[in-house]
Structure 1
Amino acid sequence: MTGSTTTATVCVAGCGPAGAVLGLLLARAGVEVVVLEKHADFLRDFRGDTVHPSTLDVLDELGLIDRFLALPHHKVSTVGFVRDGRRLDVADFSTLGLRYPYIAFVPQWDLLHLLTSEAARYPHFRLLLQAEAHDVVRQDGRVTGVRFRDPDGEHEVRAHLTVAADGRHSAVRRASGLRPREFGAPMDVLQFRISRRDTDPDEGYHLRMAAGKSVAVINRGAYWNIAYMIRKGGHDDLRRAGIQTLRDDVASLVGFLADRVGEVTGFDDTRFLEVRLDRLRRWHVPGLLLIGDAAHAMSPIAGVGINLAVQDAVAAANLLTGHLRRAQAKGKPVPDRATAAVQRRRWAPTVATQALQRSAQRFGIDRALRGQAKPPDFSAIARLPFVRALMSRLLGVGVRPEHVRVPPMPPRGQSVEGQGR
């Protein structure tokens, strides 16, 4: 099998939320698609697991919402912060009149398995695991596919369109020569779990700050997911200081967890996340489109990365399916104006969301981590009804929510009328 070449209309590098949604949407529209995933499965902890209301709408439009809600999950309808021991909600999705007025926290592997299992019902979908894209194939100035490695050796996928959905460290982006503009981030993050008790406060997703320290605390039902923020580049200093420093900071910020911080026995119980915030000026070259974190790495603030990536995938499917069907039928290349249209569609939502994250970093987290006597007090502004309504809309729905516009083809052995909703 070494040296084999596979052909498809579309090759998607990366089977995270963006790649999985795009692969499903194209396959159900009758477009031949190969999705490459470098890992052997989806079982990795501390991956993004926040599914926002607008993504829940997409799952509903795909007929998958009932199966999604049958997965183990926890719902949170508010996002806020705690200052001087008092909690203030800056977003409340229950006020928006949405069909799904909450963020659903679900293990990412369950979401990806749901999406790829549904995609596998269509004859035009193929998922290759342990297939790591590392280079692009070029011909006459166009990207015409990717080179990937698997346990059997080196292979190629030749495609009319290649889509890089392989994350913030995208190998396809690097091979294409595109370089993102770095906006910087004042912090990195250590993630870990602490058990939750029935007597704990009924708090959803909230940020706690004090001079020199900051944590995000997320109610996951059976446990609290803690995102402990450290100054950019300060991971080694923290490790030298010892795990008790982390425990003491968490205990001081989240008092009701003080008797449980010992559950974090050492740094092996944590996962380090290097926070990046960047954006490509150009998301496409002839034959190649980049979406999700490959095009715009998001900060973990408010957990909007999955939502932006899924919205990119839906927009790409809506705008490109007609061109891809013609390429599949007649062998014509996908015009550059078509991939440019995807960037135009998603540019404003990306810029606006990153601007919000940059403001939160600069005026909140950065000041706290610098050790200022007191983090800034935004409570008076956050209490204004129009501010809370705006934040609820921005965090829950986004600037330009996308909806599935491409009608499906029948899956194997089934009429369209037989597919879910």
Structure 2
Amino acid sequence: MTSSDDTSRTTCVVVGAGPAGLVLGLLLARAGVHVTVLEKHADFLRDFRGDTVHPTTLAMLDDLGLGERFAALPHSRVARVTVPTGSGEAVLADFDRLPLRHPYVAMVPQWDLLTLLAEAAAQEPTFDLRVRHEVTGVLREGDRVTGVELRTPDGPRRLRADLVVACDGRWSVVRRSVGLPARRHRVGFDVWWVRVPTRRDVGESLLPRLTRGRAAVAIPREGYLQLAYLGPKGTDAALRARGLDAFRAEVAALVPEVTDDVGAIASMDDVKHLDVRMDVLRRWHAPGVLCIGDAAHAMSPAGGVGINLAVQDAVAAARLLAGPLRRGTLRGPAGDRVLARVRRRRLLPTVVVQAVQRAVHARLLVPAVEGRASGPPPWLLALVRRVPVLTALPALAIGVGPRPERVPLWARRPPVDTAPPARPAGRGPRHAAPPGTDSTVARS
């Protein structure tokens, strides 16, 4: 239990400093909302996060004034998605065919993107990021969520707020605490992440490697290869029982370019298992709480679209919530109707993307990992070779998706210097508030 001295207050608590959480925090802070983002880890330095930054997210960074700083980060660009065939490579998605500001997927370690967003948000006077603050449950008054319980370096704490937004992923503590019901979809494979140190050229990122019984996606980084190895669900124990040498041989068979480097995988402890889940909440909110991103709809890693979808959720949520949070009108039935609007806006894109992912699972990934097929059906390869313009359709689905969101005008900024900003010692500059809100910023 905590004493009253251990309880503090903010306007909005965002649980989880991933892409959705930091984008939401940044946008709300630019609206003048007091927002506190909680992250249980001490930093963002974890290998096994998604690296894909899609065209719509790149456009969002431009609108936020962060495009030039992002472009200065070490990254690679993927303009096409190809698969190996018996006669070479076949292009399945070609981003160059789309009329976009950024017709490519950028591949950048996610910790660099999160650091960029966190540093930009730190310039806003109403933003607060607290690391090593782990949410353990929610606070309630009757049937309404009024804040969160925390485990911090200084002991247990409570943080009260008008709204709690769960951005803490598919294993969301907030989601479990509230008990929101979900519809689950069966997924027939899991993913194992492993780092393979190498200086060799392994080609473009997002190049799927498919053989009978094996599948992988290779993500080149500076000095090493990040490999997502796919196998049948429920086989983690069997994979580990086969031993390190067998796993090294399977990696070499999938990515021959690093055959001489797989010996650097020191032990099976270096191979991290991801239990792939896919679901969507039937209701994304309860009084005082909202779920977005993977907390609302756990996505498959197929296509790397989960990050883009979560960021789009955050942009839509910020636009709908900023005014009510500033006015203090989220308490009560009117506030619940505002929260429900977030789900209504974002449900269709979620359902469409998950339907596409399930089709990719059924027709490509699961047959590959179960040894029933070794790539896309021949008729599909023949079709895209005969009519190359069709490769724009999967590029549109991956890079843009249904119902892309735009940054509100009140949150946009001109480009800033590419040098990383230092957090100001005092209050940052005041910016224009969203239409229909009080123009003053309440001080904490």
Pair 155,364 (structure 1): closer, same or farther in 2 beyond 3 Å: same
Pair 79,219 (structure 1): closer, same or farther in 2 beyond 3 Å: farther
Could you tell me how far apart the structure 1 residues matched to 2:337 and 2:274 are? 36
Pair 259,409 (structure 1): closer, same or farther in 2 beyond 3 Å: closer
Partner of 2:358: 358
Deviations 1:146-188 (A, max 9, x none): 1111122222111111100111100000000113222121111
Question: Is contact 2:181-2:283 (8 Å) kept?
Answer: no
Query: Secondary structure, in 3 states, of the residue corresponding to 1:317?
Result: helix
- Identify which range, 163-172 or 69-78, moves more after superposition: 69-78
Q: CA deviation at 1:302?
A: 1.5
Deviations 1:23-56 (A, max 9, x none): 0100111001111111111111121121111101
Q: CA deviation at 1:244?
A: 2.1
Could you tell me how far apart the structure 1 residues matched to 2:360 and 2:140 are? 41
Partner of 2:279: 278
Question: Is contact 2:54-2:399 (8 Å) kept?
Answer: yes
Question: Is contact 2:2-2:158 (8 Å) kept?
Answer: no
Could you tell me how far apart the structure 1 residues matched to 2:81 and 2:344 are? 30
Question: Is contact 1:77-1:204 (8 Å) kept?
Answer: no
- Identify which range, 231-240 or 211-220, moves more after superposition: 211-220
Query: Secondary structure, in 3 states, of the residue corresponding to 1:193?
Result: strand
Could you tell me how far apart the structure 2 residues matched to 1:326 and 1:142 are? 19
Could you tell me how far apart the structure 2 residues matched to 1:58 and 1:364 are? 31
| Residue among 176, 179, 188 paired with 1:177 | 179
Question: Is contact 1:368-1:374 (8 Å) kept?
Answer: yes
Q: CA deviation at 1:221?
A: 5.3
| Residue among 384, 398, 401 paired with 1:395 | 398
Is residue 2:121 matched to residue 1:119? yes
Q: CA deviation at 1:197?
A: 4.7
Partner of 1:314: 315
Could you tell me how far apart the structure 1 residues matched to 2:428 and 2:54 are? 33
Deviations 1:45-76 (A, max 9, x none): 12112111110111111101111121222222
Deviations 1:226-268 (A, max 9, x none): 1111110111101111122222223223333333322323213
Within a 5 Å distance, the mapping from 1:10-409 to structure 2 comes to 10-84=12-86, 86-197=88-199, 200=201, 202-220=203-221, 222-327=223-328, 335-372=335-372, 374-377=374-377, 378-383=380-385, 384-408=387-411
- Identify which range, 286-295 or 128-137, moves more after superposition: 128-137
Could you tell me how far apart the structure 2 residues matched to 1:68 and 1:207 are? 26
Residue type of the alignment partner of 1:183 = H
CA root-mean-square deviation: 2.3
Could you tell me how far apart the structure 2 residues matched to 1:281 and 1:116 are? 31
Could you tell me how far apart the structure 2 residues matched to 1:294 and 1:195 are? 33
Runs (5+) with no aligned partner, structure 2: 414-423, 433-444
Pair 292,61 (structure 1): closer, same or farther in 2 beyond 3 Å: same
Could you tell me how far apart the structure 1 residues matched to 2:114 and 2:7 are? 26
Could you tell me how far apart the structure 1 residues matched to 2:373 and 2:324 are? 57
Deviations 1:343-386 (A, max 9, x none): 11111111111111111111111111222264452312444435
Residue type of the alignment partner of 2:336 = D
Residue type of the alignment partner of 1:362 = A
Runs (5+) with no aligned partner, structure 1: none
Could you tell me how far apart the structure 2 residues matched to 1:228 and 1:137 are? 40
Query: Secondary structure, in 3 states, of the residue corresponding to 1:407?
Result: helix
Residue type of the alignment partner of 1:237 = A
Query: Secondary structure, in 3 states, of the residue corresponding to 2:245?
Result: helix
Q: CA deviation at 1:334?
A: 6.0
Residue type of the alignment partner of 2:70 = F
Pair 342,181 (structure 1): closer, same or farther in 2 beyond 3 Å: same
Query: Secondary structure, in 3 states, of the residue corresponding to 2:410?
Result: coil
Q: CA deviation at 1:301?
A: 1.1
Q: CA deviation at 1:98?
A: 1.4
Question: Is contact 1:323-1:334 (8 Å) kept?
Answer: no
Could you tell me how far apart the structure 2 residues matched to 1:356 and 1:169 are? 23
Could you tell me how far apart the structure 2 residues matched to 1:59 and 1:380 are? 37
Could you tell me how far apart the structure 1 residues matched to 2:409 and 2:168 are? 24
Pair 201,165 (structure 1): closer, same or farther in 2 beyond 3 Å: closer
- Identify which range, 369-378 or 179-188, moves more after superposition: 369-378
Deviations 1:83-139 (A, max 9, x none): 336322211212212111221122222211111111111111111111111211122
Query: Secondary structure, in 3 states, of the residue corresponding to 1:404?
Result: coil
Question: Is contact 1:165-1:290 (8 Å) kept?
Answer: yes
Could you tell me how far apart the structure 2 residues matched to 1:25 and 1:76 are? 28
Residue type of the alignment partner of 2:72 = A
Deviations 1:255-308 (A, max 9, x none): 333333223232133222111111111111111110011001111111111111
Deviations 1:377-397 (A, max 9, x none): 231244443531110111011
Could you tell me how far apart the structure 1 residues matched to 2:29 and 2:111 are? 20
Could you tell me how far apart the structure 1 residues matched to 2:298 and 2:218 are? 22
Question: Is contact 1:54-1:396 (8 Å) kept?
Answer: yes
Pair 393,218 (structure 1): closer, same or farther in 2 beyond 3 Å: same
